[in-house]
Amino acid sequence: MASGPLDGVRVLDFTQIIAGPLGCMLLSDLGAEVVKIEPVGGEPWRLTAQFFPHESKAYQSLNRGKQSVAIDLYDDRAKTIVSKLIAGADVMVINYRPDVSARLGIDYDSVTKIKPDIVYVDSTAFGRKGPWAHRPGYDIVAQAASGLMMVRGGTLDDRGHPLLTGQGAPADFTTGYAIAWAACAGLFSRERTGKGQKVETSLLVNALVLQGSTFMSNPAADAEARASFLADLEQSRE
pLDDT tens string 154-202: 677 888 788 776 778 999 999 999 999 999 999 999 999 999 999 999 9
Coil, helix or strand for 122? strand
What is the pTM (predicted TM-score) of this model?
A: 0.89
The most confident of the ranges 29-33, 45-49, 135-139 is 29-33
**Catalytic status, residue 172:** yes
Q: Give 1's pLDDT tier (boundaries 50, 70, 90).
A: very low
Number of other residues whose CB lies within 10 A of the CB of residue 238: 4
Q: Give 219's pLDDT tier (boundaries 50, 70, 90).
A: low
Distances (CA, A) of 170 to 174, 211, 222, 232: 6, 11, 25, 24
pLDDT for 125 beyond 60: yes
pLDDT in tens, 62-117: 999 999 999 999 999 999 999 999 999 999 999 998 789 999 999 999 999 999 99
From the options 3.10.450.50, 1.20.58.1880, 3.40.50.10540, 3.40.120.10, give the CATH code of 10-137+169-214. 3.40.50.10540
Residue of 99, 157, 172, 222 marked catalytic: 172
Mean pLDDT of all residues in 124-145: 93
Find how far residue 31's CA is from the centre of its chain: 20
Q: Give 220's pLDDT tier (boundaries 50, 70, 90).
A: low
Greater pLDDT, 123 or 3: 123
Instruction: Indicate the Cα dihedral angle 121, 101, 58, 88, nearest 10°.
Output: 60
